[in-house]
Amino acid sequence: MLPRKLLLLLLVAVGVEAGVEFAYEGFPAAGLSLDGIASVTPDGLLLLTNDTDLNLAHAFHPAPLRFHRTSSFSTTFVFAIVSELNDLSTSGFAFLVAPTSRDLSSAMAAQYLGLFNASDNGDARNRVFAVELDTVRNPEFADMNDNHVGIDVNSLNSSAAAMAGYYDDATGAFRNLSLASREPMQVWVDYDAAATEITVALAPARSPRPRRPLLTTRIDLSTVVADTAYVGFSSGSSIVMCRHYVLGWSFSLDGAAPALDHAKLPKLPRIGPKPQSKTLAIALPMVTTAAVLAAVGVGLLLLRRRLRYAELREDWEVEFGPHRFAFKDLFDATAGFKDKRLLGTGGFGSVYRGVLPGTRTEVAVKRVSHESRQGMREFIAEVVSIGRLRHRNLVQLLGYCRRKGELLLVYYYMPNSSLDKHLHGHGHALDWAQRLRIIKGVASGLLYMHEDWEQVVIHRDIKASNVLLDGDMNGRLGDFGLARLYDHGADPQTTHVVGTMGYLAPELVRTGKATTASCWRTGCWGTGGMAPLSARWTRS
């Protein structure tokens, strides 16, 4: 047996700390051990990711900690996720406890968060405990949505997860938080070894820790956390430039994590004016009729009626008159946008089935919210131009309607719903001949848009859910809400990148130029839907 003193000396010699507690308000002098692309900025911010190349990023407390099977621990940190794009971010990052023996260089970036790779995800030998702050929904890890907090034990398939948010102390009501909002937020993670209980709380920075935690789960970590383990943060970059910052961090073994003084935390770099584009404007959350109606005084039936059908009409719209629908007609056509008429909801709005009064034409009405009036005239002009496209493989856009904060696009109704429903839903399975016909149909529609029409129309959101099937099971490209028009031979302008995560061509994200080539490459709808961002793309 070694004398106790010698043992202690040995432990110090190999840099293991026992009974540790630390607090960093900014990291200039923390001496964190960084790997991959992680860095500490001159301002003292820990910056995990800062590129678009599928690189790993790890940052650990400099010395490994001595956990015991019976150790409780407590940690808190302030972070911010800052994407260059308004409506897209990459997968998030995680706080982790990993054994010193673990070689994190074989982990993968993007949705693997720098924690695991495709072959060791879920392997009990990993002995990794993590709390993920995830901003992309990855079906292969059974993620609940694209904005959640998860408790991960050896796996990206979380043991417990909750939508990002917190319970208000005063009212008990749940309040959503958007992890990728670019706003700093604070996380608290506690493990009580005696009760084998993990609790996780989240709140906007500078708010007190909510009394009711976001997540509580019982997991015995005594067989998970190794005796000697590193604590820190992990992430990985992906094709969207998205920076994961940690502003401050404290930790305690067998004690409560020291509180962080927000006044002492380094400031996030000022984020310049958000790039504005007209298409962005429609990507904002929907304003529901209910909310509009709720604002109206009860009992004022006439006023209510007027508001119910109220539209936004401006002088410049006269020239688009024939393409403009009256809101009342759309309201009546869809039975008041009733839930049972809802065909689907996507990131950009909800689609309702309807029958136009008079002509009895079956239509699909897409309601998208838009706040800004900026660029609205050009946008409507484009909508109307796109309405002039005529091709058997395109879903005909019939017209539009405008309300305060809301835009409605009217399309012909496609009876066989969208391709994704048949590929992964409960629709009837498609045979290869049908699939080939659908693919050829979409290709032919694209050729028309790109080459044969008077202008070049770039769709920018080609994916299975935007391929509709008509009565004869022909594939028709639909949903032109993000489409752009260019003159033939013109150089596409750099724009705000829009589209759907998982379907964006890497060069589109880098150059910001939507071209006919990137438009087609985004159409990876043959791979089985939500194709995760994967190394395949940049490597091939």
Catalytic residues: 461
Residue 238: CB minimum distance to ligand NAG, A: 15
Cα separations in angstroms, 264 against 40, 248, 267, 489, 531: 16, 9, 9, 54, 42
- Of 90-98, 119-127, 232-240, 498-506, the window that binds ligand NAG (rule: CB under 6 A) is 119-127
3-class secondary structure per residue, 135-173: CCCCHHHCCCCCCEEEEEECCCCCCEEEECEEECCCCCC
267 in a known ligand binding site? no
Cα separations in angstroms, 353 against 106, 343, 345, 413, 468: 49, 6, 12, 7, 14
Closest to ligand NAG by CB, 165 or 445: 165
Residue 35: CB minimum distance to ligand NAG, A: 15
Separation between Cα atoms, residue 42 and residue 435, nearest integer Å: 54
Q: Could you tell me how many residues of this chain bind ligand NAG (CB under 6 A)?
A: 16
Degrees, nearest 5: CA angle 377-381-383: 115
Counting contacts by CB under 6 A, is residue 27 touching ligand NAG? no
Which helix (H) or strand (E) element contains residue 202? strand 197-204
Counting contacts by CB under 6 A, is residue 106 touching ligand NAG? yes
Q: Which string of x and - marks every residue 262-281 that binds ligand NAG (by CB under 6 A)? A: -------x------------
- Of 78-86, 116-124, 271-279, 303-311, the window that binds ligand NAG (rule: CB under 6 A) is 116-124
Counting contacts by CB under 6 A, is residue 155 touching ligand NAG? yes
**By CB under 6 A, what part of segment 466-525 binds ligand NAG?**
none
Is 197:225 a contact under the CB 8 Å cutoff? no
> Strand 228-236 relative to strand 93-99: parallel, antiparallel, unpaired?
antiparallel
Instruction: Work out which of 33, 100, 117, 217 binds ligand NAG, going by CB under 6 A.
Output: 117
Closest to ligand NAG by CB, 317 or 406: 406
Residue 149: CB minimum distance to ligand NAG, A: 14
Residue 268: CB minimum distance to ligand NAG, A: 10
Residue 94: CB minimum distance to ligand NAG, A: 16
Residue 332: CB minimum distance to ligand NAG, A: 27
Closest to ligand NAG by CB, 164 or 187: 164
Instruction: Work out which of 38, 46, 47, 214 binds ligand NAG, going by CB under 6 A.
Output: 47
- For the chain, what percentages of helix, strand and coil (3-state, to nearest 5) are there? 25, 30, 50
Cα separations in angstroms, 39 against 50, 59, 116, 134, 326: 9, 8, 21, 21, 55
Cα separations in angstroms, 263 against 25, 95, 205, 267, 438: 9, 23, 11, 9, 58
**By CB under 6 A, what part of segment 286-345 binds ligand NAG?**
none
- Is 20 exposed, middle or buried, given 0-12, 13-18 or 19+ CB atoms closer than 10 A? middle
Counting contacts by CB under 6 A, is residue 396 touching ligand NAG? no
Q: Could you give the 3-state DSSP secondary structure of residue 219? A: coil
Counting contacts by CB under 6 A, is residue 122 touching ligand NAG? yes
Listed residue (516, 444, 519) closest to 474, CA to CA = 444
Question: Which residues, listed in sequence order, are joined to residue 188 by a DSSP beta bridge?
Answer: 76, 201
Counting contacts by CB under 6 A, is residue 121 touching ligand NAG? yes
Instruction: Work out which of 30, 36, 59, 120 binds ligand NAG, going by CB under 6 A.
Output: 120
Counting contacts by CB under 6 A, is residue 357 touching ligand NAG? no
- Residue of minimal CB distance from ligand NAG? 122
Closest to ligand NAG by CB, 47 or 333: 47
Q: 43-56 burial, b for 16+ CB within 10 Å, e for fewer?
A: ebbbbbbbebebbb
Alpha helix segments (H runs only) across 315-393: 327-333, 376-386
Number of Cβ within a 10 Å radius of residue 513? 16
Q: Which string of x and - marks every residue 134-153 that binds ligand NAG (by CB under 6 A)? A: ------xxx-----------
Closest to ligand NAG by CB, 73 or 166: 166
Tally of CA atoms within 13 A in the half-sphere of 388 that contains its CB: 13
Residue 105: CB minimum distance to ligand NAG, A: 9
Instruction: Work out which of 70, 119, 171, 540 binds ligand NAG, going by CB under 6 A.
Output: 119
Instruction: Work out which of 16, 17, 50, 84 binds ligand NAG, going by CB under 6 A.
Output: 50
Instruction: Work out which of 16, 18, 21, 41 binds ligand NAG, going by CB under 6 A.
Output: 41
Closest to ligand NAG by CB, 118 or 303: 118
From the centroid of its chain, how far is CA 312? 31
Contacts of residue 163, Cβ cutoff 8 Å, sequence gap at least 6: 144, 145, 147, 148, 176
- Of 70-78, 90-98, 114-122, 515-523, the window that binds ligand NAG (rule: CB under 6 A) is 114-122
**Binding-site residues:** 366
**Binding-site residues for ATP:** 366
- What does the binding site for ligand NAG look like in residue numbers (CB under 6 A)? 41, 47, 50, 106, 117, 119-122, 140-142, 155, 157, 176, 269
